[in-house]
Amino acid sequence: MPSSSPDIPFIVEQMAKCVRLSKLCSDPDIADHLVELARAFAQRALELGADPDHIPVDLRPGLVGLTERGWLH
C-alpha cells in the first residue's frame, strides 16, 4: 500500500461533501445513499493510505482495515 497518494485530498473532500449533503437531504433513501457513497470514498481513501483521523467516526463501522489499525472505537 502506498504511504501517500495525491488523490487522497480529493477523495476525502468528496467523502465530506457526501456527508454534508446527506445531513441536508430530506429524502431518507437519498440521504442513506449519500452516506454509502461517503463510506465508499472513505474506504478508498484508507486503501490509498489516508490517515484514519480524516474519516468521520460515524462512517468507520464496516470499513476494512480500521480494526486492524486500532481505529474502530
**Long-range contacts of range 14-21, CB-CB < 8 Å, 24 or more positions apart?**
14/41, 15/41, 15/42, 15/45, 15/55, 15/59, 19/56, 19/59
Q: What are phi and psi for residue 3, nearest 5 degrees? A: -75, -25
Instruction: State residue 61's pLDDT score.
Output: 86
> pTM, whole model, 2 decimals?
0.83
Distance in angstroms (rounded) separating the CA atoms of residues 48 and 61 = 18
pLDDT digits (tens, 9 = 90+) for 29-73: 999 999 999 999 999 999 999 988 889 988 888 888 775 555 544
Task: Output the nine-digit C-alpha cell for 62.
Answer: 464496516
Instruction: State residue 4's pLDDT score.
Output: 66
pLDDT band of 24, cuts 50, 70, 90 = very high
Distance in angstroms (rounded) separating the CA atoms of residues 73 and 12 = 20
17: helix, coil or strand?
helix
